[in-house]
Amino acid sequence: MSYTCTRVKVAAAAIGAGVLMAIGALTVALSDTEAHAFTAHLNTGGSTTQSTPPSAPPTPNATPPVKAKKWQGNGWQGQ
């Protein structure tokens, strides 16, 4: 009896998950909005200022100098 009950629960969960996926897909398919990159607009009354994100970071990535010695083999102690 419990085996049949477990199978029914698993089947119900699978059907429920499928229904949720279908509802999500329909919501995306039927919505008229499109995803765009965010561009900030600042309206101060008389003028409008638009700013876009920079194409590169303002400072380059920091790269510390490597101080480790190259591996010389299996018995090498690093001196």
Q: Has residue 20 been placed in a domain?
A: yes
Specify the pLDDT at position 51: 73
Specify the pLDDT at position 15: 96
In angstroms, how far is CA 31 from the centroid of its own chain? 22
Specify the pLDDT at position 3: 75
Question: 């920091």: which residue's tokens?
Answer: 62
Contact present, 51 and 40 (Cβ < 8 Å): yes
Domains in the chain, number: 1
Q: Has residue 73 been placed in a domain?
A: no
**What tens digit of pLDDT does each residue of 10-62 get?**
999 999 999 999 999 888 888 877 666 666 666 566 665 667 777 776 666 66
Range of the structural domain that residue 3 is part of: 1-31
Confidence check: pLDDT of 4 > 70? yes
